[in-house]
């Protein structure tokens, strides 16, 4: 049979097992066009069937459409059954594995979640479906709260509107963290065996799954509200705040948590506050992207707000903006590194205060003074952690407070697993302020911590920008710039990485390269990863890596200065970053 004939046969087999009327119809039309010698249709069919979405440490993620290389009900069914068989294989004799399933407001999230619940139940597992669309951190929390074997969250986070994904957490010793290698490979092997056995229509389903009780949500609200360390009398100093959910699922949960903590409810961007899978007011539902916060800035200007808070669509990330007269929008979004530095400093100071007060046997994670579980004195040393592409600023905080510091590979699956963690973050707007409650980045608890910090500062007449200056005066001024090269042809990323390895630069932006660490083979601190770390003679650092979730090559530039007064430090760092950025853009273009 010809290659085109094999494609057609594979597509017809897929149509026969697809329970989704929409994807079945669009694939039927695509096949008809391809069989009519439409070359564009043939190319599209090949792209969908010549490969499949791989189940990795980020689970599955892709555009919703028919075929094994897209997100759809057939692929999700194969994944759910494969995960079920993996959990059954590793279960102790007589043990019934359990799985918590959550979902956000994206297209088909609820469908994929119910399919999974039915398939888990049909395979003999205890399946617990969260009662409605909720933020991703609720799944990470529920895995521990319900002592579940695993958790599944159906979300594509901040990806384009037509994407969806499938993220997996493990309970027990993993404490509700995302999966890491080699677990992903073991699950993938089970999924492939399920796919090879035949039609998903033959997989056993059952409606004998449970709906999680409302008490799970209430427990998360109570523990997250406890992140606030201010007495109720001082919360009255909170700055006027605007919040946007970015058409996602964050608002219900955040509103309940803020109310429980005693905060005044923020103003909201009404057109973005409710879940909407179309994401109609943003071109890309990621608060990092240019223009994503324009409506929030407009609302803040009209209401005279001093703070803008934004969650991404599944509310595991947090964006912050503050008034800035020098900006065209009137607001400046703080970088993930800036917010991470402020929250990390607060956690370090709170930990030091508890140690001074003699609470050495009741060390708590995060800035909260309530709601955190006590940690035995034999526990690993208190640790601050970041991903390796995040700013070195947190290392300076750790050194100043006598805390351990650890860098990890990119992705919160690594940050959340650091022993002794009391605070962790990654520059892509992910923060973990309460690791005894959730072992994943959490945009809700981070919002509580940030709003508490802003209110605490306001009591004494300070702002977040003032606090950033105080940070620079105490620890040195740190600056970061990121270059994101988005491509349509993924081979271009591989080409750039190979070129940098085969012909390494010796000078970038007029500064000598002191050394290059190729992390493809790992290092003493990090397992192998496709990352280049370029160390500059002036102490600056450049990290280059392909994105793990988007078709991008990412370059991270970091510089710092402790010489002279604050203004000199800022100018020195700005000049270094400008030169490095110009040099790297030439290298990767």
Residues annotated catalytic, as ranges: 157
Strand partners, 266: none
The residues, any chain, with a CB within 8 Å of residue 462's CB and separated by 6 or more, are none
Q: Say if CB 77 and CB 115 are below 8 A apart.
A: yes
Give the C-alpha separation, 576 to 567, whole Å: 14
Q: What distance lies between CA 364 and its chain's CA centroid? A: 24
What is the DSSP-derived secondary structure letter of residue 375? B
Interatomic CA distance for residues 239 and 241, integer angstroms: 6
What is the dihedral sign for C-alpha 242, 130, 213, 413? Answer: negative
Please compute, for residue 388, the number of CA atoms within 13 A of its CA located in the half-sphere on the CB side: 24
CA angle 167, 131, 59 (to 5 degrees): 5
CA-CA distance, 113 to 164, in Å (whole number)? 12
Residue with tokens 């695993």: 150
Separation of CA 292 from chain center: 17
Distance CA 323, CA 20 (A): 47
Whether 221 and 138 have beta carbons less than 8 Å apart is answered as: no
DSSP 225-283: HTT--S-HHHHTTPPPEEEE-TTSSHHHHHHHHHHHHTPPPPEE-GGGSS--TT-TT-S
| DSSP secondary structure letters along 348-393 | HHHHHHHHHTT-TTSB-SSS-SSSPPPB-TTSPPPEEEEETTS-TH
């Amino acid at each position: 049979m010809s290659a085109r004939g094999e494609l057609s046969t594979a597509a017809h087999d897929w149509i026969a097992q697809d329970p989704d009327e929409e994807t079945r119809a669009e694939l039927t039309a695509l096949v008809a066009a391809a069989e009519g010698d439409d070359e564009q249709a043939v190319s599209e069919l090949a792209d969908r069937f010549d490969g499949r979405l791989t189940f990795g440490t980020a689970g599955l993620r892709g555009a919703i459409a028919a075929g094994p290389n897209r997100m759809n009900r057939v692929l999700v069914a194969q994944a759910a059954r494969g995960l079920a068989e993996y959990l059954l294989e590793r279960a102790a004799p007589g043990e019934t594995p359990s799985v918590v399933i959550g979902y956000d407001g994206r297209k088909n999230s609820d469908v994929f979640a119910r399919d999974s619940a039915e398939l888990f139940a049909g395979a003999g597992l205890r399946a617990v479906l969260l009662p409605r669309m909720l933020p991703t951190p609720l799944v990470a929390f529920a895995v521990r709260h319900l002592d579940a074997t695993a958790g599944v969250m159906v979300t594509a986070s901040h990806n384009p509107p037509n994407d969806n994904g499938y993220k997996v957490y493990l309970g027990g010793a993993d404490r509700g963290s995302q999966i890491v290698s080699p677990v992903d490979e073991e699950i993938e092997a089970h999924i492939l065996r399920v796919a090879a056995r035949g039609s998903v229509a033959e997989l056993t389903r059952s409606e004998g799954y449970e709906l999680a009780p409302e008490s799970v949500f209430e427990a998360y609200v109570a523990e997250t509200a406890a992140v606030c360390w201010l007495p109720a009398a001082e919360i009255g100093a909170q700055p006027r705040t605007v919040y946007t959910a970015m058409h996602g699922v964050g608002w219900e949960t955040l509103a309940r948590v803020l109310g429980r903590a005693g905060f005044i409810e923020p103003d909201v961007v009404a057109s973005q506050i409710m879940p909407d899978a179309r994401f109609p007011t943003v071109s890309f539902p990621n608060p990092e992207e240019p223009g994503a916060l324009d409506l929030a800035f407009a609302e803040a200007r009209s209401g005279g707000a001093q703070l803008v808070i934004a969650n991404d669509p599944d509310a595991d990330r947090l964006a912050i903006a503050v008034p800035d007269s020098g900006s065209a929008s009137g607001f400046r979004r703080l970088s993930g590194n800036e917010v991470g530095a402020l929250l990390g400093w607060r956690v370090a100071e709170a930990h030091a205060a508890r140690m001074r007060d003699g609470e050495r046997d009741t060390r708590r994670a995060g800035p909260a003074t309530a709601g955190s579980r006590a940690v035995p004195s034999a526990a690993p040393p208190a640790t601050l952690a970041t991903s390796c592409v995040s700013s070195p600023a947190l290392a300076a905080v750790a050194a100043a407070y006598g805390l351990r510091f650890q860098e990890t590979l990119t992705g919160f699956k690594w940050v959340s697993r650091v022993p002794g963690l009391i605070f962790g973050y990654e520059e892509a707007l992910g923060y973990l302020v309460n690791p005894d409650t959730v072992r994943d980045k959490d945009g809700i608890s981070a919002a509580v911590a940030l709003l508490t910090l802003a209110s605490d500062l306001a009591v004494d007449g300070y702002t977040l920008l003032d606090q950033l200056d105080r940070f620079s005066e105490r620890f040195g001024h740190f600056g970061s710039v990121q270059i994101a090269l988005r491509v349509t042809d993924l081979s271009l990323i591989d080409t750039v990485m190979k070129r940098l390895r085969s012909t390494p630069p010796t000078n970038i932006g007029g500064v000598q390269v002191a050394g290059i660490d190729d992390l493809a083979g790992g290092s003493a601190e990090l397992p192998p990863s496709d990352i280049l770390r370029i160390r500059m003679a002036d102490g600056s650092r450049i990290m280059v890596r392909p994105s793990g979730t988007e078709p991008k090559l990412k370059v991270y530039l970091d510089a710092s200065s402790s010489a002279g007064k604050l203004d000199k430090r800022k100018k020195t760092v700005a000049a270094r970053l400008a030169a490095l950025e110009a040099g790297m853009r030439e290298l990767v273009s």
